[in-house]
Structure formats: structure tokens, C-alpha cells
Structure 1
Amino acid sequence: MATSDPLMPLSESGKTPQVYQLEDSKNEAHYTRDLEAVKVNTSPKFVGLTKEQLEQYRSDPFWKPMRLILFILFWLAWIGMFAGAVVIVVLSPKCDVKKQASWYKNKVSYQAWTPAFRDSNGDGTGDFKGMNEKLDKLRKIGVQTLWPTPVIQSDTFSYGVTDFEKVDERLGSEEDFKELVDEVHDKEMKLVMDLPITTTSTEHPWFKASRSGGEFTSYYIWRDVVPRGGEEFWAKDDSANKYYLHYQEKKHWPILNWDNTQVSEKILAAAKHWLDIGVDGFYLGFVEYLGRNAEGTQSDWDASTDRLKAFITEIRNYVNSTEAIRDKDIALFSSLENGHNDHQLSLIEAGLNYIINPELTNISAQSCSNKIAPCLHKMLKDVLANHDDNSELESMWELGKPSASRLATRVNDRATAELLTFVQLLLPGAVNVYYGDEIGMMDSKTSGVAAAQRGMMQWDRTAHTGASSTQNATADAAGDDSEFNFDDQYSKEGSQLKMFKKLAKLRLRDEALMLGDYRLGALQSDRDAFAFSRVYWKGDNSTVGNVYVGLVNFGETDFTVDWKADRLYHTGAKLAKGEVVAFTSNVKNYTPRQQIDLSSETHLVGPKQGILFRFAS
């Protein structure tokens, strides 16, 4: 029989005691007797004062006030400790909080020409409801900001505005637009829109009224004769028998006179209207026309920036004073086709968040003499140097837009266009993608109502590319939708769209691509190629997270990269073993996550191919 007590939970040594083994009736009798003894020995003994003793102190003249004093002291001590804890929390030094970049600084924006994007009701014109139908597809490929163009009522879906506070009814109702904005926000995306602040249409009621004199005459800039050298900027209105200032070579876009404070007040009222609907920002077009020289041929930059600053200040004040939108970070941006670096800086100082870099939209086979790499390399080098010298300039890169021929058409080659998009998605800052460029769309082959670069979006292989159900569409299709359509590419591994999705998503979660430096390698002119890297540096000269190196070959022949000899990349970081992350759709000799070793390997990059490698720092 075991000698330890079976009812004790643990022995003094901490080990579980053994239990009795009931071998026979004699042992069982002994066990019963011992158990009764344990019960007697372990009965609790009464400790403390009896009820009668306690009763003596209940009304004692000494203990009665003493209890009250002790009770009060207890709560005073508790309150004091609580207050002390609050003071410690308030006065303690704050932990360093990692600053998050504003939503517009590194996101993928998607600009869609609304009339050609998706027609929901079969009237031939794309609309807000149709755009709403396709939101989920855009979100899945990594688009974070939607930029529908246009929204405001105009004469020809342009900057010829006819009412600043109304949506174009051909695109849907204001309620349809509000539903689009709400759905965008439900999907944790943003929506920005064009707000033309310097032009209207000649069909605008203001302009019609200005012809006959009265208060609206000063809404525009009129002259009795055309100033010398200003023929491209002035047009005669026969009914008024005078000349009005208009946007260069666009007679139906008269310029608003911002010397008249009523004009700025009207435009501000329009901005407030769209902010109340819920938009997250504005593209302010043609800001250089806010002030003009006497001849109207050039911008008066001092006047333009002063007026822009006053306008932006009013917008910011309105946002900060309006409870429903007070916490919103509103993006205000523009572009300059012919502005100098100092003009860009003055516009940033006036309050714009960023200026779109227009240089890449000028890339074409013709302008680059069929040598894309040297052309692109020089543009990137110049723009990046300007941004390095002026850190307040934020980048936004675009390759396509509604006023330029489509990228794949400009370079006469879809593979080259895809490679340019590959480079664009890895540039620092934000990028703006023109609808259809993510699948390699080209200009329409037929001459329709809309410009060739505004063809119907190619969604699938159904009639009219899935963008409309009618042949009488506002825009034409490019005519090659059988292969180059969204749905087919989304379902195919290794397509251009899948490459786009991979890089767009990667920008959202990797610090090196969100916040890192961009280093441009030397141009390999004999091979029409170059490399670049993305590295996020800390202040102590060490890197954070991953290091990315991209190789792009715009040439017609293969070339082999010898990592030791070529020094094609330049990161400043020590690189060794890594992996393949992404590549263009024509790459066949690499696989995702393929391991590489720079200490011993060389890599083949084929014609019109791009490859992205990742290294752990």
C-alpha cells in the first residue's frame, strides 16, 4: 500500500501523491477507516470574533467615526492614484508613430473617359452606372483612385463647360454620380474629377449674356481688336462685334476673367457643391490661364499663382469648417505642358499637392527615332534630378491621357507599350493609368464622333467589346478585342493585365516601392537597355525591408547581364541571393519566385522584356 495521503493534492516535494490500491476487503476496511480520520482531522476551525463580540464595536463612539474616516481616506487615495495615472499618461513622451503618406502620394490612379467606358442603358454613351458596374474589376487589379473624365455638363464632353454645378445628363443623373462616389468609398477607393476653373463653352449662359453687355460682360476678356501676335488666342464674336480671349486654338473655349471676383466666387461655389457630394479631389485644368499678359498669349505667373493660392485657401477653409468632410484629405492637382521648373514650384507653393509629370506622354516611335530606351532614360534622369533638387515636388507619372494618342499606337508596338507600363508602375510617387493601357489597347481604326484614343473600353469578346449593346455608340472600338480584352487577360496567367495587377498590388504593401528611393542605372546604349532600383533608406545608411532591381530591354536582340562585370544596377546596398518577382508577359525563361544568386549567375533578358528581382536587405 502507498504511504502518501490520497486526498492531498500535492506532496511537499511538489509531486502528485500515490493513491491507495484496494487489493482486498481488509485493505478496503483500512481505507474506509483512514478516510473518516482524515475528514475529522481536516475539518475547519472557527477563527475571528463572534457575533456578540462584533456587536460591541458596532455603535462604539470611537469606532463609528473611525470607520467613516477610513472610508473617506480610501476613496481619496483611490481618486489620487487615478488622477496620478492620468497625469503620467499625458506627460509621458509620446512613442514615435510612423507617418503614413497621404493617400494620393503613391497610389495607382485610373483615368477613364466616361462616355466610352461602359454603357449601362444601351443608349450608346458610357455612364456613371456603367462605371459603377466595373468598379470591382478595377479594385481587383490594384486601382486605388478612380478619375472619371468628364463629369460636369459640357458641350462636347470637354472643358467647354455649360454648367459648373450639374453633371452631364448624358452620363446619368446627379444621384447616379452620388451612388458611384459612395460605391467607390465602400470599396476603400478614392474618386477625383476634373474641375475646369478657367474655361467655359461659348454655349454657357454666362457667355451668351456677356455678348450683349451688362454684368456678365466682365466674366470674360473682350477686346475691340486682336492684339499683335495673338491670332491663336482671340476670336471674333459677330453678335458682339468684338474679340474674346480663348484657349489656344480652341475658339469654343472662352477664358474666364479672374479679375472679376464674382467669377472666383462662382467657381468656388461649384467646388463646394462637388465636395458636399463626396469627391476626394480635383484636377484643376489650365491653371496658367488664371492670369494672362496684355496680349493674352502667355501666362502672368504671378497673377496666376496668387489667384490659385487664394482659391485653394478657400477650398481648404471650407473643408476644415464643414463637419461632414472635415477629416478628408482633399487632393488638388494639375499639369503644365509648357511650364518651367520654377513655375511648378510656384504652383506647389500656391497649395497644389502635386503636378503631373507630362514628359512620358510625349514618348513615341517618331519623337524617339525608334530608340525608346535612350529617350526614356533621359526623360527619367531629368525629371528625377529636378525632384531631387526640389523635394517639395511630388511625382505623378502618366503615359496616356484623353488628349494624346494611345501608348501602344504611339510606339507602334504592344510589347514596347507593356514594357513602358512596367517601368511606370515601378516609378516613385503616384501613377496615373489611362483606361485600356493596362491591356494594350490601341487607337480606334475608324473615325467616329470621339477621338481615336477614346475608343470603347474592351471588356470581353461579346458584341461591341462588352462596353455597349448598340452599334451607334459615342466611341468606336479599336477592332482587335478578340485577344486584347480585360476578361480574357484577367483569366490568363502571364498576361499583361496580370503583370499590371502584380505590380499595382505590390506598390500597396512594400515600403521600398511606396517610400523608397529610385536609382537609375547607366544606359546601356549598345543594348538599348538600362536598370533601376528601389531602396528604402534609413537615416543610419541602412535599408528597410526589401531591395528591388528592375532590368528592361527595349532592343531587338537578347543581352546577357553579368552582375559582377556590368554594374548595370546601382543600389548602394549589398545584394546576394534573391528571387524573381514579376516580368512582362513575353518573358518565358523565368518563373515567379525563381531563386537567383548574383555571386555566380548571369541573366538573359530578351527583346522588349522587363524583369523585376527582389532581395532581402
Structure 2
Amino acid sequence: MDNNGKLNSNDEAAEKLVQDGDALKVEIQLEPQNGDTKINMTEIKAAFIGMGKEELMKFANDPFWVKLRWFLFILFWLLWFGMLFGAIAIILLAPKCSSPEPRDWYENSPIYEISVANFKDGSTPQDGVGDLEGLLEKVDYFKEIGVDTLLIDSLMRSTSGDADRIEDFKEIDPRYGSVDHVKQILSQLKQAGLHIIMKIVPNYSSLNHSWFEKSVERIEPYTDYYIWSNGKINEPPNNWLSVNGGSAWSWNPIRKQYYLHQFDDTQPDLNFRNNELVQYFSDVFKWWLDLGLSGIHVDKVDFLFESSNLTDESISDNPGTFHDQYDFYRHTNTRDLPETIDLIKHWASVVNNCSGVFSVNGIPDSIDFHSANLIHRPLIIKDGVLSADNIKRYINHKLTMSQQTWAIDSDNDEEIADYEECLTSIMLLLPGTLVVSAGSELGLRADSIIPWDNSPNAGFTRANSSWKQLPDNYEENNVEFEKTQTDSYYNTFKSLVKERESPSIMHGNTDTDVINSTVFAFTRLKSGNPGFLVLFNIDSQEKTIDANHMKHVPDELTVIARSKNLWTQLQPKSSITSRNIRIAPTSCIVLQYVPSNNEG
């Protein structure tokens, strides 16, 4: 014990109370005043100073720890590579969002329907009639308006150059040149990026066809190439009427029988219950495709077959019609017979097997026909009467079908002149393909000569005169002039064809509506892309509408195109509100928008 009353470390008591490795510090203190002894015990915090080198090496070289380190090292890299390859596998194999199916070439641009004789005289010397050289001369024009598919009328040898009265289905009309010449021009058009589809009407031939002459004489195998009947006493066989008016039967004094013609009496109907005739037309399609066509358009197929027992037609319920009028009857025995579908399927396979596109007009609306590439089902306007509800029903019905080809058909072109530009604009922005008549971009009738400028003969020909009358007012309504006018439909047509490249137009959903009873409206939208709103006021009065209720339509809209008669302040790229849109009578407007969360 030292002078302060503390035990030295050598004291026996200390040795007994404090041993190496104890976790307590023991301090014994003597109180001199009263002789008491005080013992203090505190916890010792041992400090870890690690293993020495020799001890560390002992563990490092221990076989157990060596194996453990290698195991953990290998396990780490296996897990790392496993996660890497797993991530790659997820990226490659995980289901992806399905991409839209690529469009076929005939769906990309409008199909431009051309009467070759009316388009451009390009022959040398020029004779005042349009020709294939004229098409070749205007290749740049087709590219300018965004067209790469042409639907031309028949090039077959015909009576007086009338493509609707064919004298030989496997011979080229002399006005178009030789077979080699036509083949060369078709090849040049194809090299220029144009696809040519030719229209064929197999229902009838010309009265001057050699088949008919031999059929009259009952020369085999042509005896039954046409529909013949003895008829009643001094009367036609039945009450069938021609589409053009009058009886569908005409008497032939040589054969002493009636022959059927559902159109003009110079167009006798062919008998497609004759298998030789069916095979012949299969060969006709192959022949023309080999010549360089991209496709065949078969027109008026609803008239291909008639009832074999020549049953009378029943009376329809069409008001205001009389027994000598075509619409007085139902035509269940002369149109849309079931045999038609089987024949069209056969011809479609023939054309497709030759790598051609098969187009058809006349399939009933009630049949969703899958065999044809293009099925023309036009919007039919009777007596010039059109309504927003009719347009909506027509479009919604077509959208349920597997293929959409849009066109306009009217029995009175004059009465729908105010509608045609808007209807064309609408159909340009719908899914599928629009068939548009040459000159419609200028507001012309389908059968008009195309006026290219205000020079004599409208730039159509350098001959002394054209083969038919030029359009009225062509000096101010021609291609050259319309190009310079900002508000011209020519420029609107071009801009809308360009908009067809938008994902929303090519692949988007379509929602239709009728607003205020006279404004037809629809939207096109593909997720992640700008949407389009199209409005068409059919009424003769101005309308102010609110389109904000339509699905995904926001407050702010951007003008893309408009009718010429719509307010001039609505220039392209200007902004308007969707809640208060003024639309002039018989006018339309195309708007673009960034989709909102509005679900309609």
C-alpha cells in the first residue's frame, strides 16, 4: 500500500481482485480518517487492435479460408453475369407493343382515276386526244399532288374509242399504239414510281364483237356466250328493265331471239354460266398483267349473273316510281346473285397469283368480302340529298369491314358540287384508300378534260382543237392558276394528302359524331401523336359548335386546312378554341390538337 492508502499492483489483494482478461477495473482506497476501506469497480472497454501478421497469415493460408474465398469470388461473378444475361433476355424476349402492320402501296396515296383521253395529249403529232404519252409527260404532276397509283380506263380495242364497248379484250386499241409500245410506256411509268391499275367491265361486250356475230349465227363455241331467250308472244321474256331505261331485252331478227342487255342495247350481256368464258377472262387478266399493269379493277360485278330461269322482278316499295322505271323493281333476279361471289374469288386468286392487285366495284354492302385487295363501296347520294347522319352511318358501317376504299357516287353531279370538296377532304383522312377522279383537285366533274393553263386548248393539246369541249371558265380555273392561289382547293388537296403520312391518319382510331344535327365530326388519333378533328357543316346556315366534348379534344386547336368559303382569318397554323367554332354553310375545317385526358 502506498502513502495514499492505495494498494500497489504487486499487493496480493490486487492480484486476487484483478485478473488478466477481466472486464472490470478494481480500485481499493483506504480512508485515513476512520480507517474504512473503499473499493471502486469500473468496466474496462477492451480495444481490439487486430491480428498480427503471423496470425493473419496463419488464417490466410488455412485451406478452409482459401476455399471459402474462391467460392465467394466465383459466386459473385456468377451472380453478376446471371443478372446481366437475365436483363438482356428480358429485353429480347419480353412481349413488345405490337407495331402497326405496314401499309400496302395502294393504301399510301389516293388512287387517281383517269380517263386517259381527257388527261393530256402527248402524242407526236398531237391529235387532240389524251393518251399514254400524256400520262408520262405529267409524272411530275402526280408526284406534286402526292399520287402514286393511277386507275385508268380500258386500253382494249373498242367501238369508236369508247372504252365501255369492247370489241376484243386481248387487243390494244389502235389509238394507244402497238403492244410493244404500250409495254414500254407502262414500264417507264413504273420506273417513275407509278402503279397502274386498269378498269375492265366483263359484264358485256360491244355489239360489234366477233363473239356476238358468231353467237347470232349459232357458231360454236359462241352460241351460249350471251343470254338469249325466245320470249313471249311478241313480248320480251320478262319484265326486266335496263339501267338506262326501257326493256333489258332486244330482238335479233337473224337469230330470232331476244338478247339481254342490262345497260345499252349496244352492250349485250355475256353469259358467265359458260365455263369457257370464265376461263377466257382469267386469261385476259393474266395477259394484261404480263403487259406491265400493277392491278386489275373489275367494275359492275353486281350485274355478272342473272336468274337462270328468267323470273320476273318483284315490285319495290320505292315511292313515286312507275312500272317503266328501273327503281320500280327490286332486281333480286338480275343483281347481286350468290354465284357472283364465287366467280370474283376465283378471279381475285388469278390476279393475286400473278402478283397483281385485284380491285372490284359492286360487292353488296352486306358482305365483308376478304378476297379483293380493294373494294369500292361509294357514298351514294340520291337526288343530291345528303345529311350528317347519313355520312356517319356510311362511315361507321365501312369501318366495321376488313377493308375500306372510299369514293363518291351521285346521280346528279351539279347538286353535290358544293359537297364534293368537303367529302373528298373527309375521305382523305379516313382509314384506307380514297379513289378520287382526276380534276377533282380543281373542282371539276369526273368527265372533264384537264385544263393545264389558260393558253388555247387549256394546254391540253397543241392540235387545232381538243376531241371534246373544254371546261367552262378554264382561263381562271386551271392547274397553273390554282397553284398560285393560297386558298385554292388544289393546295388544300396537296396538304391533306401530305397529312396522310401522319401516324394518326395511317394507323389511328376513328371516332365519329354529329353535332347540332347538321355538323358531321370525326377524330383520328394514335397514342403518342397529335390528333386530327374534322368538321363538316352540311347545312345552308352558319353553325357555331362546341367540340370539346369529343374524346381527347382539348381547348386549343390548330387549323390545318379549311374550305375556301370559311372565314379568311382562319389561316393554316392559326389557333382556335374547341368550345366556340363557327362553321360557314356547306364548309369544312381540318384541325390538329395535342390530346387531352378528356374521355368524352
Q: Tell me which of 204, 226, 230 is aligned to 2:240.
A: 230
Residue 454 (structure 2) aligns with: 461
Query: Are 2:357 and 1:367 equivalent residues in the alignment?
Result: no
Provide the rounded CA distance (Å) in 2 between the counterparts of 1:286 and 1:183. 30
Amino acid of the structure 2 residue aligned with 1:493? T
- Describe how 1:380-391 pairs up with structure 2 within 5 A: 380-388=391-399, 390-391=400-401
| Structure-2 residue corresponding to 1:38 | none
> In structure 2, what is the Cα distance between the partners aligned to 1:563 and 1:606?
16
Q: 2:375 maps to what in 1?
A: 355
- Residue 533 (structure 1) aligns with: 523
In structure 1, the partner of 2:405 is: 396
Q: TM-score by structure 1 length?
A: 0.70
Give yes or no for the alignment of 1:426 onto 2:440.
no
CA deviation map 1:408-437 (0-9, x unaligned): x23354xx4323332232233211111111
1:441 aligns with 2:444: yes
State percent identity of aligned pairs. Answer: 24
The aligned residue for residue 105 of structure 2 is 103
Q: Distance in 2 between matches of 1:113 and 1:295?
A: 36
Cα distance in 1 for residues equivalent to 2:352 and 2:426: 35
Task: List per-residue Cα deviations over 1:340-397 (Å, max 9, x = no partner).
Answer: 433x33xx14x2223212224x26xx432xxxxxx24233222233234x432x2222
Equivalent runs, 1:568-587 vs 2, <5 Å = 570=550, 572-573=551-552, 575-587=554-566
CA distance in structure 2 between the aligned counterparts of 1:177 and 1:493, rounded to whole angstroms: 38
- Say if 1:532 and 1:551, in contact at 8 Å, map to a contact too: yes
Tell me the distance in 2 between the aligned counterparts of 1:376 and 1:190.
35
Name the structure 2 match of 1:241: 256
Shift of 1:176: 4.2
Is the contact between residue 126 and residue 171 of structure 1 (CA under 8 Å) also seen in structure 2?
A: no
Deviates more, 1:190-199 or 1:108-117: 190-199
Question: Does the CA contact (< 8 Å) of 2:351 and 2:358 recur in 1?
Answer: no
Q: Is the 8 A contact 1:128 1:172 kept in 2?
A: no
Q: Which amino acid aligns with 1:125?
A: V
What's 1:182 paired with?
Answer: 187
Change (3 A) 1:552 1:302: closer
Distance in 1 separating the partners of 2:570 and 2:557: 13
Change (3 A) 1:263 1:148: same
- The letter of the residue matching 1:164 is F
Structure number with the higher helix fraction is 1
Instruction: Give aligned pairs, total.
Output: 468
Q: 1:559 to 1:384 in 2, by over 3 A?
A: closer
Aligned-partner Cα distance in 2 for 1:548–1:198: 42
How big is each residue's C-alpha offset from its partner over 1:26-65, in whole Å with a ceiling of 9 and x where there is no partner? xxxxxxxxxxxxxxxxxxxxxxxxxxxxxxxxxxxxxxxx
Q: Is the 8 A contact 1:499 1:585 kept in 2?
A: no
For residues 432-491 of structure 1, the C-alpha deviation after alignment (integer angstroms, 9 at most, x for no partner) is: 11111111125xxxxxxxxxx523211110111111233543321122102111111123
Which residue of the other structure, out of 310, 319, 336, is the alignment partner of 1:295?
Answer: 310
Q: 1:160-190 deviations in whole A, cap 9, x for unaligned?
A: 2111122222234434433442233223232
CA distance in 2, matches of 1:385, 1:245: 37
Partner residue, 1:592:
572
Q: Which residue in the other structure is 1:212 paired with?
A: 217
Q: Is the 8 A contact 1:119 1:468 kept in 2?
A: yes
For 2:397, the aligned partner's letter is N
The alignment partner of 2:552 has SS state of: coil
Pick closer, same or farther for the CA change 1:313–1:530 going to 2, 3 Å. closer
1:559/1:606 contact within 8 Å kept: yes
- Whether 1:139 and 2:148 are equivalent positions in the alignment is no
Deviation at 1:259, TM superposition (A): 2.2
How many angstroms apart in 2 are the aligned matches of 1:235 and 1:502?
51
Distance 2:547 2:351 in 1: 52
AA of the residue aligned to 2:142: L
1:164 to 151, 162, 169: 169
Indicate whether 1:511 and 2:503 are aligned.
yes
Q: Which moved more, 1:271-280 or 1:579-588?
A: 579-588
Is the 8 Å Cα contact of residues 422 and 584 (structure 1) preserved in structure 2? no
Distance 2:521 2:397 in 1: 20
Rounded to whole Å, the distance in 2 between the matches of 1:146 and 1:282 is 11
Instruction: Give the distance between the partners of 1:523 and 1:234, measured in 2 at CA.
Output: 49
Shift of the alpha carbon at 1:94? 9.9
Higher mean C-alpha deviation, range 498-507 or range 141-150: 141-150
Match of 2:54 in 1: none
Greater radius of gyration (CA) = 2
TM-score normalized with structure 2 length: 0.72
Equivalent pair of 1:198/1:256 in contact (CA under 8 Å): yes
Q: SS where residue 479 of structure 1 aligns?
A: coil
Distance in 2 between residues matched to 1:279 and 1:616, nearest whole Å? 42
- 2:4 aligns with none
Unaligned runs of 5+ in 2: 1-88, 242-246, 312-332, 596-600
- Cα separation, partners in 2 of 1:115 and 1:557, compared to 1, 3 Å: same
Distance of 2:130 and 2:255 partners within structure 1: 37
Change (3 A) 1:506 1:261: same
Shift of 1:595: 3.5
For residues 316 and 340 of structure 1, do their structure 2 counterparts lie closer, same or farther at Cα, with a shift above 3 Å needed?
Answer: closer
AA partner of residue 570 (structure 2): Y
After superposition, the Cα gap between the structure-2 partners of 1:585 and 1:309, relative to the gap in structure 1 and judged at 3 Å, is same
1:200–1:439 Cα change, 3 Å: same
CA contact (8 A) 2:453 2:480 kept: yes
CA distance in 2, matches of 1:562, 1:198: 50
